[in-house]
Homo-oligomer: A and B are copies of this chain.
Amino acid sequence: MMDVLSQTFSALADPTRRAILARLSEGVANVSDLAKPFLKDMSLPAVTKHLKVLEKAGLITKTRDAQYRPCKLNAEKFRDVSEWMDHYRKHWEASFDRLDEYLKTIHPTKKKKKPKKR
């Protein structure tokens, strides 16, 4: 039995699945819509499987409309990942500052690099 976070991360660890999520971030799409960009690289059942992985991970929801299966992004799941990431945020922000300090010492006139606003 896989823990929730592992399942989420491993669902995200595939470029096809991330591309599907990117497409769904633009709006609802059914299976063949989602599959279209990949059909030169893989079969339809392969895409079906990717969707199943995303669905089991809770990253998307698949509904029914006649013979179509409209899929939509399940945004809450992303928040869970983001919350896990938050624990490390201070570290990368700190390391950014350290780099910043370092850059100032070697090149004091150079424009200050600032961490991204969130």
- Interface of A with B (CB < 8 Å)? 3, 5-10, 12-15, 18, 21-22, 25, 73, 75-79, 81-89, 91-92, 94-96, 116, 118
Are A91 and B25 neighbours in the complex by a CB distance under 8 Å? yes
State whether B118 touches A91 (Cβ < 8 A): no
B residues near A81, Cβ cutoff 8 Å:
85
B92 engages A82 (CB within 8 Å): yes
Q: Is the CB of B94 within 8 A of A75?
A: yes
Q: Which residues of B contact A18 (CB under 8 A)?
A: 5-6, 84
Q: How far is the CA of A8 from the CA of B9 in the complex (A)?
A: 9
B9 touches A13 (CB 8 A): yes
* In the bound complex, CA of A12 to CA of B11 (Å): 11
Q: Once the chains are docked, how many angstroms separate the CA of A14 from the CA of B10?
A: 8
Q: What are 18 sample pairs from A and B whose C-beta atoms fall under 8 A apart?
A: A5-B15, A5-B18, A6-B13, A7-B13, A9-B12, A21-B88, A25-B87, A25-B88, A75-B92, A76-B95, A76-B96, A78-B88, A78-B89, A78-B91, A79-B96, A81-B85, A82-B89, A86-B116
